[in-house]
Amino acid sequence: MKEDDWNAVIQTNLSAVFQVSKAAIKVMMKQRYGRIEGSMENIEQRVKQIISQQLGKDLAEVKNEASFVNDLGADSLDTVELVMALEDEFGIEIPDEEAEKVTTVQSAIDYVTNNAKA
């Protein structure tokens, strides 16, 4: 086998391994971060980071007392997407009747803290 052919085989195999690994790593990372390991501050930071990303706000704007709608400018679709992101990140399910009560940063932190899977 010529060196160029051999390099093409190696490149193909490495590309395939990378693609498979990439898919597996996403699942593994979700499982790792889906468990609550650590302090209340860690949970609080993760919740705030999700809110910041979902609502396109600077992390400094995401204060515990902030209302998603009144202070952070979220609409109803934003709040649904935010709840879904929290569910994915922490491996929890937030029923609709409970999701309606999650209206502030602190209420999101409290819900995750009290309901996250160990």
For the annotated catalytic residues, the residue numbers are: 75
CA distance 95 to 46: 21
DSSP 74: -
Q: How many other β-carbons are positioned within 10 Å of the β-carbon of residue 19? A: 10
**Are residues 105 and 52 in contact, defined by beta-carbon separation less than 8 angstroms?**
no
3-state SS class at 26: helix
